Structure 1
Amino acid sequence: MAQQGKVEGPDLAEEGVALDAFEAGIPIGGQVDGQPVVLVQTTGGIRAVSGKCTHYGGPLSKGLCVGGEIRCPWHHARFDLESGEAVGAPALDPIAVYEIEERDGRVYVTGKRPDHGDRPDPLRSPGSIVIVGSGAAGAAAAEALRRHGYEGPVALVGKEKPVDRPNLSKDYLAGTAQEDWIPLRSEEFYKEAGIDLIEAEVSRVDTAEQVVQLESGETIPYDALLLATGAEPRHIPIPGADLPHVFYLRTLADTKDIISALDGAQRAVIVGAGFIGLEVAASLRQRDVGVTVVAPEEVPLAALIGDALGRFVQDLHEEHGVDFRLGRGVNEIGQKAVTLDDGAVIPADLVVVGIGVVPRTGLADEAGLDTDKGVIVNEHLRTSDPNIWAAGDIARYPGPDSEPVRIEHWVLAERQGQTAARNMLGHDVAFKDPPFFWSQHYDIPINVTGHLGDWDDDVVVGNPSEHDVIVGYGKDGVIKAVATIYRDRENLQAERALAEDDQDQLRELFARE
C-alpha cells in the first residue's frame, strides 16, 4: 500500500498562487499547516481541497479535474470539489474542502470548511434492502445506500467481512502490508452506519416471497435485493490438484494459508501467467522463495496488454529471479514436484493456481433470473426481476457497443455497487464508466483503462523498460483501451476521453512525442 511522501509546494495560506498560473483541469499543489492541499480552476471558479486521496494516499496534485470532480492519479478515485464526497471508488471516505480568498491577483487558502452536510433524501425508499455478497460491489453498495440518504434496514450477507482484495496478492502476500490494512472497514463502522453485517452463506433466494434464505435456515425479507456474489477460482482438473499444498487465491483466508505454507518452503510453482499469478510470483520472490511460472502462452499477458508490455513484465520478473516455462501445461502435481506436459519435473513445496475465475451465478440461476455467462442486467444493473439488481463479477451489462460484457475488476465492481445502490433508491442512473484496473509487480504499477477484450492493433509510445510508456489498443481505427506505466495523468485523460467517446482526445495522447 503506497503512501504519499513529503508535502511539497508553496504555503497556500501565506504565499498563495497567482491567478494566471491556473491551467484548466490541472490541480496546483501546495500545503496548509503542513497538510497537502490543491487548488483547481473549474467552470464554477477556483476550489481548494485536500491533496491526499483517502484510498491509498495518492497525490491529487498529480491528478485531473473533470467537471466538478478531482480524480486521483493512482487508482482513479473521484471526489466532488464542492462537498469533498468520494463519488467514485476505490476511495470511500471524503476529502476536506477549504475556503479561499482572492486578492491582489492571487488566491489564498483561508481555512477548512466545516464537515460535510446532510445526506440527500432518496427518491424511493424500499422497506428493506438485502445485499448478498460482501466483496467489492456489495460493500460499496451498502455504504452508498447510507450516503444517499436511505434509512431503512440494510443487511450485508457474505462468507467473510469486506476486505481490500487487491492487496491480498500484492503487498499483504509480499509481507509489506500489515493485516490491519486489509479490512475495508471496522465492525464498529458498520454498527454506527446501521448496516447489519452477517457472516453466512446464502442458500436460496425466494423471489415469490421476497426472502433470502441462509444455510442455517434463517430467512431475511427484502423489498430490494442486490446480488453481488462475485466469482470463484477456476480449478485445474489434473491428478494431484486436491493435495494440501495446492492453493487458489481469492480470500483473506486463502492468502493466510499460502503465507503459512511458506514456512520452510524453498520453491513454488505458479500455474497461470495472468495478473494474479504474476502478482503472486512477485510477492513470493520478495519473500525469497524460488518461483517457476508455468503457462500455455508464449508471452505472458500478451493477449490482454500486447507483446510490448507482456515481454516487459516477463523481463521484469526474470530480473527478479522468476523462471518461466511458457508454451507448457501441467500434467500432474505431486507431493514435492510438478510434472509438465513435456515430461519436465519442477520441484515445488507449494503450488498456486491462477487460471481465471468463474462467476457465482448459482443463486441467480435457481431464482429463475436471466443468465448467460453471468447475470443479465440492463444499463441500470437491474435483472429480469424488477426487485433484484446485480453488480460486480457476476453482472453482464451493456458495454460501449451495447453488446453484453462481464468484467472482473475491483474498481468497476465497487462502482457498479454504488450505481446499483442509487438505482435501488430510484435514481435510474445508467452505468457507463470505462473499466479501470491496476496491477503491481515489484513496485512497478501498470494502469489500464477501457475495454481490453476486443482489440487487434496496439500503438506503443515510450519505453516500457524505462518505466515510461503509454499503449493504445484499437480495432478498426478506434481506440478502445489505454495502458500506462508512470503516466498517470494521461491514463486519467484516457478515461475521460473513453467516457466521452472522444477519439480525437485519445489520439492526441499518442501524438505528444
Structure 2
Amino acid sequence: MGQDSSPPTGPDFTQGIPLAGIADDGVLAGHVGDEAALLVARDGDLFAVAATCTHYGGPLAEGLVVGETIRCPWHHACFNLRTGRPHAPALNDLKRWRVEVRDGRAFAREELPEHRAPELAAPALPASIVVVGGGAAGNAAIETLRREGYQGPITLISADAALPCDRPNLSKDYLAGSAPPEWIPLRSADFYVDRRIDVRLRTRVTVIDPARKSLTLDDGSQLEYGALLLATGASPVRLAIPGTDQPHVHVLRTLADADALIARLDTAKRCVIVGASFIGLEAAASLSTRGIEVHVVAPDKRPMERVLGAAIGDAVKALHEAHGVIFHLETTLTAIHPDRVTLSTGADLAADLVVTGIGVRPDIALAEAAGLATDRGVLVDACFETSAPGIFAAGDIARWPDARSGDNIRVEHWAVAERQGTAAARNMLGRRERFAAIPFFWSQHYDVVINYVGHAERWDRIEIDGDPAAHDCTVTYWRQDTRLAVATIGRDRASLDAEAAFESALSA
C-alpha cells in the first residue's frame, strides 16, 4: 500500500560512501541497487535499511530516529535498526543490509536475513495458548508468540467470518473504493498454517472455567489452555429507535459490515450518517468521495469536540462541508423509515442508506461471567494479566494502569490494541514487562490526516500553534501543568517529536 515505484535517487550504497559524508547521528537517503535505502549513523554504528515503512509505505527519511529505532511519520510504526523488528502498526520486518567499512568508505550490498528469536525453553512456558478475538490485539499476540520463539500450540478463536483484517482501512480507502480487497487481510491463510496457528473462524467461546483452565465453545466442545488472552474487542452501539432493523441500516465494524455497506452503494443516492464520531465522519468522507449525498446527524454542537476540542472540531466540519457534507447538529434521530429518517426537530430527511456510528461498547460479558474483575472494561495489571492468574486481556476491553497518569484507562484505538497484544504475548511467556507505550491514533478525512499522541479524557487548557482551519497546526492538551496529549494536522514530524518527548519523560 502506498509504495513509491519511482526510481531511487541519491548515492548508490553498493558503490560506497565516504565516511566523511555521513553526519554523526544522521540519516542519508540513497539506494542499494534499485531499492531505496537509508544509511543511518547512530552512536558510532552504521545501519542500512529500506527507505519505506512496511505498514503503508511511508517515507522513513522524513521520520525520526530515537535510540536504535527509526519511526514512520505517517502512522508511527517503529523499527529496530539493528534487527529490523517492527512495532505496531507495522507487522513486517524492515529490510536491512550489512554495512562494511573499508578504506574510509561505507558499503551496503548483502541483504541480512530476517531476525529470528531462538526457540524458548519449554518447561517455563504455558503448555498451550488460546487467544479469543481476531482483531488487532489478538492478531498481534499470536504473531508475537511465534516471533518470540514460542513453539507450543496456539489457537485463535474469532467470531468473525474473515481472517484478521486491516480494520482502520474499512472506513477509509476501502469504503471509498480506492483500496482493493486484497489489501484488507492482515495475513493470508497460509501465513497462519505455516506458523502452526490454529485459526477457528465463526466460533464463539461461551464459558471460561479459570479453575480448570478450559473453554467451552458454541458447538459444545471444550478446549484447554495453559495461558489465555481475551481480546474480544468492542461492538457497535445500536440505536434504540423504530426502524433500525431495516436492510438499509448499517453499522461499520467488521469486514462483513463494510462489504454489506459497499454492496448497496450502486443504488444509494443519499446517506444519513448518525453520529459525528471518527468512524462516522471517515465514512462520510468515503461515501462523499463516491458521489453520494451525505448528511450527518449528531447531538453534538460540533464534531469531535469532546476528544479534540472546538478548534479542530470546527476545522473538520468546514472540511466536510467543503466536500458537500451537510450537518444537522444538536439533533438526534427518532425513527428510521424505508426512504427517510425523522429528526428530533420533527423534520424528515430523505435517505436510502443509514450508517450509525455512535460509539462502541467493550465486549466484557464473557470475562464477567468468568468472575474476572471489571470496571467498564476488564481490569488488568501493567503486564495485562487479569485478576485470574494465567488469563490476560488486551485491546478495546482492557483497562490498564497508565504509566503517565497513574489512572486506569481504556483506549479504543488500533495501534494501541496491537501494541497491547504484543505486550501481553511477551508477558504470557514470562517476561513481566510493564506496558508504557504512548497511546496513538490517526484519523483520515479526504486528504487531511489528524495524528494524536497521548491520552486526555479531560483537560483545562488547550494551546494551539498554527491554524487548524488551514490544516497546519499542533494542538496541545493540558491539565494544570501536565501535558496530556498532542494532536497535529499537517505536521507529522511534530507528532513523532511529541511521542518521543512523552516517552523520554516516562523514563526520566
Structure 1 distance, partners of 2:507, 2:138, is 34
Most deviating of 14-23 and 55-64: 14-23
Counterpart for residue 129 of structure 1: 129
Q: Is the aligned partner of 1:227 residue 2:226?
A: no
Mapping 1:468-487, distance limit 5 Å: 468-487=472-491
* Structure 1 residue aligned with 2:462: 458
- 2:468 aligned partner, one-letter code: P
* Aligned 8 A contact 1:102 1:108 in 2: yes
Please tell me whether the aligned partners of residues 155 and 198 of structure 1 are also in contact (alpha carbons under 8 angstroms).
yes
Q: How does 1:265-280 map to 2 (within 5 A)?
A: 265-280=268-283
1:218 aligns with 2:221: yes
d(CA) in 2 for partners of 1:201, 1:229: 10
Aligned to 1:366: 369
- The 5 Å alignment of 1:53-72 reads 53-72=53-72
Q: Paired residue for 2:445?
A: 441
Q: What is residue 509 of structure 1 aligned with on the other side?
A: none
In the alignment of these two chains, the number of paired residues is 502
Tell me the residue number matched to 2:173.
Answer: 171
Distance in 2, Cα, partners of 1:43 & 1:304: 39
Identity of aligned residues (%): 49
Distance (Å, rounded) in 2 between the aligned partners of 1:281 and 1:363: 33
Question: Is 1:16–1:109's contact at 8 Å kept on the other side of the alignment?
Answer: no
Aligned to 1:237: 240
Q: Name which of 258, 261, 264 aligns with 1:261.
A: 264
**In 2, distance between residues paired with 1:178 and 1:405?**
35
The answer for the alignment partner of 2:303 in structure 1 is: 300
Match runs of 1:337-376 below 5 Å: 337-376=340-379
Q: Map 1:86-125; keep pairs closer than 5 Å.
A: 86=86, 88-102=87-101, 106-119=105-118, 121=120, 124-125=124-125
Three-state SS of the structure 2 residue aligned to 1:37 is strand
Displacement of 1:218 in angstroms is: 1.1
Query: Hey, what's the Cα distance between the residues in 2 that align with 1:169 and 1:2?
Result: 17
1:397 corresponds, among 396, 400, 413, to 400
- Do structure 1's residue 140 and structure 2's residue 140 form an aligned pair? yes
SS in 1 for 2:494: helix
SS in 2 for 1:53: coil
Aligned-partner Cα distance in 2 for 1:437–1:38: 26
| Structure 1 range deviating more: 482-491 or 273-282 | 482-491
2:27 and 2:388 map into 1 onto residues whose CA distance is 44
Alignment partner, residue 185 of structure 2: 183
Which residue identity is paired with 1:451? H
Contact 2:237 2:358 (C-alpha < 8 Å) held by counterparts: yes
SS at match of 1:61: helix
Alpha-carbon displacement from aligned partner over 1:427-469 (angstroms, at most 9, x marks no partner): 0011111110111111211111110312222211122343322
Q: Deviations over 1:155-212 (max 9, x none)?
A: 0000122111001000111111111111111110000001000011111111121111
For residues 267-316 of structure 1, what are the alpha-carbon distances to aligned partners after superposition, in whole Å with 9 as ceiling and x for unaligned? 00000001000000001011100000011111111121122211111111
**Contact 2:32–2:109 (CA<8 Å) still a contact in 1?**
no
Q: Which residue does the alignment assign to 2:285?
A: 282
Indicate the residue corresponding to 2:198 in structure 1. 196
TM-score (norm 2): 0.95
Cα 1:503–1:346 shift into 2, 3 Å: farther
Distance in 2 (CA, whole Å) between partners of 1:122 and 1:340 is 62
Whole-angstrom distance in 1 between the partners of 2:121 and 2:18: 40
Three-state SS of the structure 2 residue aligned to 1:13 is helix
* Aligned-residue offset at 1:35: 0.9
Q: 2:423 aligned to 419, 426, 446, which one?
A: 419
Instruction: Write the distance in 2 (CA, Å) between the matches of 1:249 and 1:29.
Output: 40
Q: Give 3-state SS (helix, strand or coil) of 2:12's partner.
A: coil
Letter in 2 for 1:493: D
Q: Secondary structure at the match of 2:185?
A: coil
CA distance in 2, matches of 1:16, 1:465: 44
What residue ranges of structure 1 are gaps of 5+ in the alignment? Answer: 505-513
Change (3 A) 1:17 1:353: farther
Equivalent position amino acid for 2:437 in 1: D
Aligned amino acid, residue 355 of structure 2? V
> Structure 1 residues 16 and 344 mapped into 2: Cα distance closer, same or farther (>3 Å)?
farther
Q: In 2, distance between residues paired with 1:445 and 1:10?
A: 32
Contact 1:70/1:79 (<8 A) preserved: yes
Deviation (angstroms), 1:104: 6.2
Secondary structure, in 3 states, of the residue corresponding to 1:500? helix
What is the aligned partner in structure 2 of residue 34 from structure 1?
Answer: 34
State the SS of the aligned residue for 1:501. helix
Counterpart CA distance in 2 for 1:229 and 1:437 is 20
CA contact (8 A) 2:16 2:108 kept: no
Checking the alignment, whether the CA contact within 8 Å between 2:120 and 2:151 is kept in structure 1 is: no
Partner SS for 1:452: coil
SS in 2 for 1:365: helix
Tell me if 1:385 matches 2:388.
yes
In 2, are the aligned partners of 1:478 and 1:503 still within 8 Å (CA)?
no
- Label 1:478 to 1:17 Cα distance change in 2 as closer, same or farther (>3 A): farther
Instruction: Kindly indicate whether the alpha-carbon contact (under 8 Å) linking 1:295 and 1:328 is maintained by their aligned counterparts in 2.
Output: yes
Taking the TM superposition and a 5 Å limit, the aligned residue runs for 1:303-318 are 303-318=306-321
1:106 shift after superposition: 5.0
- Distance in 1, matches of 2:351 and 2:449, equals 28
Query: Could you tell me whether the CA contact under 8 Å between 1:482 and 1:494 is conserved in 2?
Result: yes
- Report if the CA contact (8 A) 1:69-1:80 is conserved: yes
Output the CA distance in 2 between the equivalents of 1:69 and 1:121.
25
Give the TM-score normalised by the residue count of structure 1: 0.94
Measure, in 1, the Cα distance between the counterparts of 2:223 and 2:247: 36
Asked if 1:336 is matched to 2:322, the reply is no
Amino acid at match of 1:454: R
Distance 1:196 1:471, change over 3 A: same
Sort the Cα spacing of 1:460 and 1:420 in 2 relative to 1 into closer, same or farther, 3 A.
same
Q: Which amino acid aligns with 1:332?
A: A
Letter in 1 for 2:414: W
Relative to 1, partners in 2 of residues 1:225 and 1:502: Cα closer, same or farther, differing over 3 Å? closer
RMSD of aligned C-alpha atoms?
A: 1.8
